[in-house]
Amino acid sequence: MSETSEATDVAIIGGGVVGLSIACATARRGYATCVLEREQRFGHGGSTHNSGVIHAGIYYPTDSMKAKLCVEGNERLYSFCQKHDIPHKRSGKLIVANSNNIAALETLATRGLANGVQNLELVDRAFIRNREPYVEAAAALWSPSTGIVEAESLIRTLVKEATARDVSLLPSTQLEGSSDSVDALELRTTHETIMARSVVNAGGLYADEVSAAFGGDRFTIYPVRGDYAELASSAEHLIRGLVYPLPDTSGHGLGVHATRTTWGTVTLGPTARYQSKKNDYESNRDSLEHFQKAACRFLPSLTIDQLKPGGSGIRARCAPEHIAFSDFKIVRDSHVPRLIHAAGIDSPGLTAAFAIAERIAELVDATLT
């Protein structure tokens, strides 16, 4: 039998990096805040099943939310990591190309500069070899503001920050039903009933189901699985930082790229494949041959025996497979005014999390005042 809690100002559904960042932002404004997370651990989904890259904001259409919030979130994330001693590195990134694709690099550079990315530079083979001796490319776009972060440590720190601000953190708590009243939304869970003056839907892969539970806007979250491989320890010297190919022409990913983590391993990936299930991380994994073939375009000395299987992650996109670009959905619901969506937060959601949180907090202000 569930118990009815005291009413809260803000209930956030989803305890990933975005949900936790929003909780800290609303709590700083003085709102009583709680976070409902369906899993036992916060950040167990897409927040920690990714490359851990701090993006600069190069790829996204100018004036899109992804472009604006990535650029804004980039420095916010670096500052937060430095303040809280979260393992991270401003390692820089090379986007490499052969001699036939120089124009594509120039197009990316133009877009990045239009988005407000600083210090982008087209560099030659000598620059590439100086930074990455084993990488073969005719030219590259150098992005010094790109870096990496240890996502697990970031989540732990956000949990501590939220706790310090008296946010009620509710793991293993799944929304089972809801209803609307004059002054609040009612959230029914297996443990209790919560009355909230405002609800933020940061449900990740399940954000469409959360919206439906409230009778809110109809939209679909499309799961996009990405697999990883890792370089064997004997081959980790082949990559020093971040090396990317030109983006996938489908628009569904940035291509299989090489990332040196904060703890010294090197990952290759992710791939991108639409699938129906939101919790299938294992079936039909991409083969090591697939990763070796993709990486050999810029790392020709890589052999199949230098690879081993890595992890996988599932991105939450708001657009079907035939649509190349899917922007963040950050908006008040058109049917349920007390419901605010932070949905479709795939890459660069990790980078943009603090900027997203500020936008959501402003929508909360507008809802509650």
Whether residue 198 is found in the same domain as residue 283: no
What's the token pair of residue 275?
């699938």
Same domain, 126 and 230: yes
Give the mean pLDDT of 1-30. Answer: 89
CATH code at position 101: 3.30.9.10
Task: Give φ, ψ of 63 to 5 degrees.
Answer: 80, 0
**How much is the pLDDT for 249?**
78
Q: Are residues 306 and 227 in the same domain?
A: yes
For the chain, percent of residues with pLDDT exceeding 70: 98
Residue 112 included in any domain: yes
Are 233 and 312 contained in the same domain?
A: yes
Number of domains in the chain: 2
What the block records as the tokens of 263 is: 């703890």
Does residue 79 form part of some domain? no
pLDDT tens by residue, 157-168: 999 999 999 999
Structure token pair of residue 298: 């810029």
Q: Is residue 31 part of a domain?
A: yes
Is position 78 within any domain? no
What is the reported pTM? 0.96
- What is the Cα–Cα distance from 85 to 103, expressed in whole angstroms? 40
SS3 assignment, position 119: coil
Q: Are strands 307-317 and 222-231 parallel, antiparallel or unpaired?
A: antiparallel
pLDDT at 5 over 80: no
Res 4: pLDDT: 56
* CATH code of the domain in which 36 resides: 3.50.50.60
- Verify that 266 and 277 share a domain, yes or no: yes
Based on the fold, state whether residues 226 and 216 are members of the same structural domain: no
Pair (272, 141) in one structural domain: yes
Q: How much is the average pLDDT of 267-294? A: 96
10 Å CB burial of residue 256 (0-12, 13-18, 19+) is buried
Give the structural domain span for 135.
90-146+222-317
The pLDDT tens digits for 78-130 are 999 999 999 999 999 999 999 999 999 999 999 999 999 999 999 999 999 99
In this structure, are 37 and 158 located in the same domain?
yes
pLDDT at 253: 81
In a domain? residue 136? yes
According to the model, what pLDDT value does residue 1 have? 41
**pLDDT tens digit string along 128-144?**
999 999 999 999 999 99
**Is 82 part of a structural domain of the chain?**
no
| Cα 354 from Cα 54, distance rounded (Å) | 12
Which DSSP category does 248 fall into?
A: P
Which of 5-9, 143-147, 197-201, 327-331 shows the lowest per-residue confidence on average (mean pLDDT)? 5-9
CA angle 74, 79, 81 (to 5 degrees): 95
